[in-house]
């Protein structure tokens, strides 16, 4: 019997900028990683790694998603928590892993300062997009933004 998660994974239609890996091997389809390399926007050229933990009751519960790459982003905090509505209050069983990956990709092409986890980054994006772009480039290259050091991810 194939699980809903296995079915979702077999039907993935990822953007070319996204890759999926199974660090525990193909037998553990409930824990995997997705790398995203945005091909446009502020984060162009960066590489961001997300871990997915799929619940045994999926699709009735959204997967747990964490960003393993430290990133200067309004919707991702420094602990890797991700603010994406479909991972929380807007999750519905009709949504899929594919939908989440596209949602994550969209956070990099269209960061949202309206629903932030990193309030400083959101304020800079809202008030001074040029400075925000400069902070993102510095963080991607490996450097400090304020008191926070970001390892190189470009």
Six token digits for residue 139: 């963080």
Q: What is the DSSP letter of 85?
A: G
As a whole number of angstroms, the distance between CA 152 and CA 149 comes to 10
Do 51 and 69 touch, CB atoms closer than 8 A? Answer: no
* Active-site option among 18, 67, 83, 113: 83
As a whole number of angstroms, the distance between CA 148 and CA 154 comes to 17
Q: For this structure, is 83 an active site residue?
A: yes
Do 9 and 17 touch, CB atoms closer than 8 A? Answer: no
As a whole number of angstroms, the distance between CA 74 and CA 29 comes to 30
The CA-atom distances, in angstroms, between 110 and each of 1, 22, 42, 103, 107 are 39, 28, 9, 10, 5
Q: Collapsing DSSP states into helix, strand and coil, what is residue 8?
A: helix
Active site positions, annotated: 83
């Amino acid at each position: 019997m194939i699980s809903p998660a296995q079915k979702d994974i077999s039907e993935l239609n990822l953007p070319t900028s996204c890759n999926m890996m199974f660090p525990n091997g193909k037998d553990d389809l409930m824990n995997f990683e997705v790398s995203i390399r945005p091909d446009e926007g502020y984060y162009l050229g960066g590489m961001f790694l997300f871990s997915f933990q799929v619940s045994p009751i999926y699709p009735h519960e959204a997967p747990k998603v964490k960003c393993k790459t430290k990133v200067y982003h309004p919707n991702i905090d420094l602990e890797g928590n991700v603010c994406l509505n479909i991972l929380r209050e807007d999750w519905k069983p009709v949504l899929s892993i594919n939908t989440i990956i596209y949602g994550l990709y969209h956070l990099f092409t269209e960061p949202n300062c309206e629903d932030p986890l990193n309030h400083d980054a959101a304020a800079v994006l809202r008030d001074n997009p040029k400075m925000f772009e400069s902070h993102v480039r510095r963080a991607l290259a490996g450097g400090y933004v304020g008191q926070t050091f970001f390892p190189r991810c470009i």
